[in-house]
């Protein structure tokens, strides 16, 4: 954000020049205001009209934009028509110490956010048409590459920024100037990056208020965002994804410890006799333990170093994969200090674990061990599942499970851990929905298929509704208006509905003329609860309202309130063209067709659906994430089964040979062996799923609440319940079946060989 020049507060204004920046600078708490001119314009890409306007910028040298190719690789200067521009304080190559550089863009080309790739399927070479004027005002530019746009590049933001050449910018200005007011579609504007002085005692909210009260900026403001809000938007997806990767890493670390513990105990069991012999020769238990500690410690260290070699590559791969949704090409340079500390911490944890697990080597009693080695496996189990002819393989599997319960605890835990995690990610995928319905509902004030907002009285709403009806009968309609208000002197967006039943109520009741709804975010920020009275003000008028309930709307990270038309009329003007008509269609699938027709044939209206262009990217990202996590989980199941089955087969070679000598075929033995894994993994997975059912919604809901999404609830779902319940046990079974191929090598001759001792 610092690189892109964002201040403590960034205000998007239209129609004014640098004078406003100078006016803001007169406020005592303001340290500096930078002015970044831009053009607001609607645009069409590959036959799709954007719901929102784009903002066109040209690199004037003040901001070092980072241009990338389709794969997310930073473009070298002079490629793709870019020519270098010198920025004071930077090297002649244009590259600063931090690796940033700016460049001048060739005329006729445009650089876009990578998030548009998923939203509009844009590729380099495609053209984008910007609508600047009704009369010959379509300006076409060719996509030459992408640029990292931390704020508007995210799929969470519908408005997108475009980097164009200085010449094209000037041409566009000419078109806008030449157009009559009524014909102008594009308009000039600016981003005012306001920096708060370090000495200022004001909170960001008070600082914002001071600027609004002390200047005329509110007259020209399109919208404004505090740095925290921008960060919230920028980091929403990054944080969710990073959080999941960190949690998954933790799960995998636990799985690694379980598997290592299992492997260690198997090796110790196998070598117990040798240890006993060494002890009889006078070797201390501590020295024997050191051998195992150093061996396993060395392997863990080597594994970690090996993993570290790939860390940067994997981070780069992830960063490139995520950029289509986040809009940011995250630096893949590993933070050395953090990595070192993490490395040491993991090593220490592993060392402590090894010390604990190798403790039993000290307890090996020489003669007792040598005597025991000659005997068979024992069990103290009192319960014995029956052995029946009809279910022989199944019964043998159950008997072995019952006989060697503790051998399967690790398997159970691994399955449970992975199930919890895969169920959680699956529940998130379910909540998100195939088209992103979860996010749609979370970020929209109220459900709708189509929204139409007329901007003047010439818009024939009756005719528009007839057009919509032609595509699909309208089932429900209501009206929504949005306005800026202050609640107890804090600025929020008010969502006003003429039919308050449409609000997504989480707790309490819907609002009326004397009450309002607040989000969890507002409740936390203002320390409010249901029943409290607040002062809501707008346009110089204020009124006291009671908080009637908590509702969900994640717009502005949840910084908004809900009001009824009657309630808002006490402080705001409800007669202007502020109302957006929301429609719920009988056939919601027709909404995109209706929207496109209305966009193409009517002027003076804004038509939108409940979705936004970046949503498809987020859905795609979620699907990729689920796939990646399942792949990683599969690898861990493979490794776990390899080690655990190896240990079991080693311990049971004798029994297996006996079964074979009795005429049980290798195939039946393998099936029986694999069934044990299926049973244990099923039990572990079921427990994991149960845990996720009991706690996942609350856990995810808590995380989501910090992003303004107050409600997270998923019932039974294929992805969150059924898929892990099937996939995990089946993978355990299949891998066990594959590894049990070793049973083919188990020969009855083993029994004979023992005879010949």
Partner 1 sequence: MGSSGSGKSTLLYVISGMDRLSGGQLFYQRKQSDGETSSDEMLDIAHASEKELTRLRAEDFRFVFQRTHLVSSLTLEENIRMAGLICGSMSEKEIRERTDALIRQMRLEKAKDRFPAQVSGGEAQRAAVARAVVTKPRILFADEPTGALKKANTEEVLDLLTALYTQGQSILLVTHDREAALRGNRILYLEDGAIVGELELSPCACFLP
Binding site for partner 1 (CB under 8 A): 375-379, 384, 387-389, 392, 399-400, 403-404, 654-655, 657-666, 748-749, 751-752, 754-756
Of 329, 426, 330, 328, the closest CA to residue 623 belongs to: 426
Q: Which one, 249 or 379, has the nearer CB to partner 1? A: 379
- Supply the minimum distance, in Å, between the C-beta of residue 655 and partner 1: 5
Q: What phi-psi label fits residue 236: left (phi over 0), alpha (psi between -120 and 50 degrees) or beta? A: alpha
- Supply the minimum distance, in Å, between the C-beta of residue 732 and partner 1: 21
Q: Which one, 537 or 751, has the nearer CB to partner 1? A: 751
- Supply the minimum distance, in Å, between the C-beta of residue 378 and partner 1: 4
Q: Which one, 397 or 681, has the nearer CB to partner 1? A: 397
Q: Which one, 151 or 659, has the nearer CB to partner 1? A: 659
In the DSSP assignment, the letter for residue 89 is T
- Supply the minimum distance, in Å, between the C-beta of residue 666 and partner 1: 7
Q: How far apart are CA 14 and CA 143, in angstroms?
A: 26
Q: How far apart are CA 267 and CA 284, in angstroms?
A: 19
Q: Which one, 583 or 677, has the nearer CB to partner 1? A: 677
- Supply the minimum distance, in Å, between the C-beta of residue 391 and partner 1: 10
Helices (H), 358-408: 359-362, 366-373, 392-403
- Supply the minimum distance, in Å, between the C-beta of residue 663 and partner 1: 2
Tokens of 595: 């929207």
| Cβ density class 381-397: b for 16+ within 10 Å, e for less | eeeebeeeeeeebbbbb
Q: Which one, 405 or 570, has the nearer CB to partner 1? A: 405
- Residue 610 CA from chain centroid, whole number: 20
- Helices 723-739 and 615-661 sit at what angle, rounded to 10 degrees? 40
Tokens of 539: 């346009």
Residues 6+ apart with CB under 8 A from 651: 266, 269, 377, 404, 407
Give the number of other CB atoms < 10 A from CB of residue 736.
26
**Under a CB-based contact definition with an 8 Å cutoff, are residues 175 and 1 in contact?**
no
**Under a CB-based contact definition with an 8 Å cutoff, are residues 440 and 552 in contact?**
no
Q: How far apart are CA 712 and CA 561, in angstroms?
A: 19
Give the number of other CB atoms < 10 A from CB of residue 229.
17
- Supply the minimum distance, in Å, between the C-beta of residue 257 and partner 1: 28
φ, ψ for residue 435, nearest 5 deg: -115, 10
Q: Which one, 456 or 665, has the nearer CB to partner 1? A: 665
Q: Which one, 124 or 651, has the nearer CB to partner 1? A: 651
- Supply the minimum distance, in Å, between the C-beta of residue 412 and partner 1: 19
- Supply the minimum distance, in Å, between the C-beta of residue 381 and partner 1: 9
Q: Which one, 400 or 449, has the nearer CB to partner 1? A: 400
- Supply the minimum distance, in Å, between the C-beta of residue 289 and partner 1: 28
Q: How far apart are CA 631 and CA 626, in angstroms?
A: 9
**Under a CB-based contact definition with an 8 Å cutoff, are residues 579 and 455 in contact?**
no
Q: Which one, 586 or 754, has the nearer CB to partner 1? A: 754
Q: Which one, 369 or 500, has the nearer CB to partner 1? A: 369
Q: Which one, 105 or 746, has the nearer CB to partner 1? A: 746
Q: Which one, 26 or 753, has the nearer CB to partner 1? A: 753
- Helices 366-373 and 227-280 sit at what angle, rounded to 10 degrees? 90
In the DSSP assignment, the letter for residue 224 is E
Angle formed at CA 158 by CA 152 and CA 161, multiple of 5 degrees? 40
Q: Which one, 540 or 663, has the nearer CB to partner 1? A: 663
- Supply the minimum distance, in Å, between the C-beta of residue 753 and partner 1: 10
- Supply the minimum distance, in Å, between the C-beta of residue 383 and partner 1: 13
Query: CA 138, 144, 146, 152: dihedral to nearest 10 degrees?
Result: -10
* Number of helices followed by number of strands (H, E) in the chain: 21, 23
Extract long-range pairs of 688-691: CB within 8 Å, 24+ residues apart: 688/415, 688/416, 688/417, 688/418, 688/419, 688/420, 688/423, 688/724, 688/728, 689/419, 689/420, 689/423, 689/721, 689/724, 689/725, 691/416, 691/420
- Supply the minimum distance, in Å, between the C-beta of residue 269 and partner 1: 15
**Under a CB-based contact definition with an 8 Å cutoff, are residues 111 and 162 in contact?**
yes
Pair type for strands 490-497 and 474-487: antiparallel
SS3 letters across 484-528:
EEEECCEEEEEEEECCHHHCCEEEECCCCCCEEEECHHHHHHCCC
**Under a CB-based contact definition with an 8 Å cutoff, are residues 163 and 39 in contact?**
no
- Supply the minimum distance, in Å, between the C-beta of residue 281 and partner 1: 28
- Supply the minimum distance, in Å, between the C-beta of residue 379 and partner 1: 7
Q: Which one, 566 or 655, has the nearer CB to partner 1? A: 655
- Supply the minimum distance, in Å, between the C-beta of residue 752 and partner 1: 6
CA 38 to each of CA 57, 114, 402, 435, 474: distance values in angstroms, whole numbers, following the listed order: 5, 20, 72, 32, 39
In the DSSP assignment, the letter for residue 106 is P
- Supply the minimum distance, in Å, between the C-beta of residue 385 and partner 1: 11
Q: Which one, 356 or 387, has the nearer CB to partner 1? A: 387
Q: Which one, 590 or 664, has the nearer CB to partner 1? A: 664
Of 178, 171, 695, 714, the closest CA to residue 433 belongs to: 714
């Amino acid at each position: 954000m610092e690189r892109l020049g964002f201040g403590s507060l960034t205000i998007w204004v239209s129609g004014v020049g640098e004078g406003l920046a100078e006016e803001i600078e007169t406020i005592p708490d303001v340290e500096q205001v930078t002015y970044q001119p831009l053009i607001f314009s609607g645009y069409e890409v590959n036959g799709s009209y954007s719901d929102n306007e784009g903002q066109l910028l040209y690199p004037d040298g003040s901001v070092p934009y980072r241009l990338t190719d389709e794969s997310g690789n930073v473009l070298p200067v002079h490629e793709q028509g870019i020519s270098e521009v010198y920025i004071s304080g930077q090297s002649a190559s244009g590259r600063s110490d931090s690796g940033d550089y700016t460049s001048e863009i060739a005329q006729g080309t445009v650089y876009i956010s990578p998030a548009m790739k998923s939203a509009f399927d844009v590729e380099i070479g495609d053209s984008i048409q910007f609508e600047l004027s009704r009369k010959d005002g379509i300006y076409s530019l060719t996509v030459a590459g992408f640029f990292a746009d931390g704020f508007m590049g995210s799929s969470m933001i519908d408005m997108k920024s475009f980097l164009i050449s200085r010449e094209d910018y000037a041409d566009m200005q000419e078109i806008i100037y030449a157009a009559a007011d009524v014909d102008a579609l594009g308009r000039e504007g600016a981003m005012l990056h306001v920096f708060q002085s370090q000495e200022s005692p004001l909170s960001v909210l008070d600082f914002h208020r001071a600027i609004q009260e002390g200047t005329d900026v509110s007259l020209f403001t399109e919208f404004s965002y505090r740095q925290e809000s921008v960060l919230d938007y920028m980091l929403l997806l990054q944080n969710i994804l990073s959080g999941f990767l960190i949690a998954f890493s933790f799960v995998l670390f636990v799985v690694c410890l379980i598997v290592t513990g299992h492997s260690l105990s198997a090796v110790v069991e196998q070598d117990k006799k040798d240890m006993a012999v060494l002890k009889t020769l006078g070797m201390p238990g501590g020295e024997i333990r050191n051998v195992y500690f150093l061996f396993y410690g060395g392997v863990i260290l080597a594994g970690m170093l090996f993993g570290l070699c790939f860390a940067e590559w994997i981070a780069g791969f992830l960063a490139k994969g995520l950029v289509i949704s986040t809009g940011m090409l995250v630096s893949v340079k590993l933070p050395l200090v953090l990595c070192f500390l993490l490395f040491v911490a993991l090593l220490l944890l592993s060392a402590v674990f090894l010390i604990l697990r190798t403790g039993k080597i000290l307890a090996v009693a020489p003669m007792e061990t040598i005597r025991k080695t000659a005997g068979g496996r024992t069990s103290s189990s009192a319960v014995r599942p029956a052995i029946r002819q009809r279910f022989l393989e199944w019964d043998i599997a159950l008997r072995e499970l019952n006989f060697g319960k503790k051998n399967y605890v690790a398997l159970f835990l691994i399955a449970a851990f992975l199930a919890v995690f895969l169920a959680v990610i699956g529940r998130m995928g379910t909540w998100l929905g195939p088209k992103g319905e979860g996010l749609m509902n979370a970020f929209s004030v109220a459900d709708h298929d189509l929204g139409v907002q007329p901007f003047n009285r010439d818009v024939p709403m009756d005719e528009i509704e007839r057009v919509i009806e032609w595509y699909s009968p309208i089932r429900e309609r209501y009206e929504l208006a949005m306005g800026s208000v202050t609640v107890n002197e804090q600025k929020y967006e008010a969502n006003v509905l003429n039919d308050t039943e449409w609000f997504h109520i989480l707790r309490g009741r819907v609002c009326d003329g004397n009450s309002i709804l607040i989000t969890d975010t507002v409740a936390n920020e203002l320390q409010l609860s249901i029943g409290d009275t607040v002062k809501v003000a707008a346009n110089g008028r204020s009124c006291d309202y009671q908080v009637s309930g908590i509702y969900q709307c994640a717009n502005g990270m949840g910084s908004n309130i809900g009001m009824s038309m009657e309630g808002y009329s006490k402080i705001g003007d409800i007669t202007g063209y502020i109302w957006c008509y929301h429609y719920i269609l009988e056939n919601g699938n027709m909404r995109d067709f209706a929207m496109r027709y209305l966009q193409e044939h009517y002027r003076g209206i804004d038509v939108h659906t409940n979705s936004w262009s970046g949503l498809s990217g987020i859905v795609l990202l979620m699907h990729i994430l689920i796939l990646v996590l399942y792949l990683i989980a599969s690898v861990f199941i493979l490794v776990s089964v390899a080690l655990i089955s190896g240990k079991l087969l080693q311990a049971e070679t004798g029994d297996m040979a006996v079964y074979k000598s009795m005429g049980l075929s290798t195939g039946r033995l393998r099936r029986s062996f694999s069934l044990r894994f299926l049973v244990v993994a099923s039990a572990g997975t079921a427990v994991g799923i149960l845990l996720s059912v009991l706690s996942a919604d609350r856990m995810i809901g808590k995380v989501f609440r910090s992003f303004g999404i107050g409600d997270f609830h998923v019932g039974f779902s294929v992805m969150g319940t059924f898929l892990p319940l099937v996939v995990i046990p089946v993978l355990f079974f299949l891998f066990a079946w594959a590894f049990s191929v070793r049973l083919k090598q188990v020969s009855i001759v083993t029994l004979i060989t023992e005879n010949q001792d």
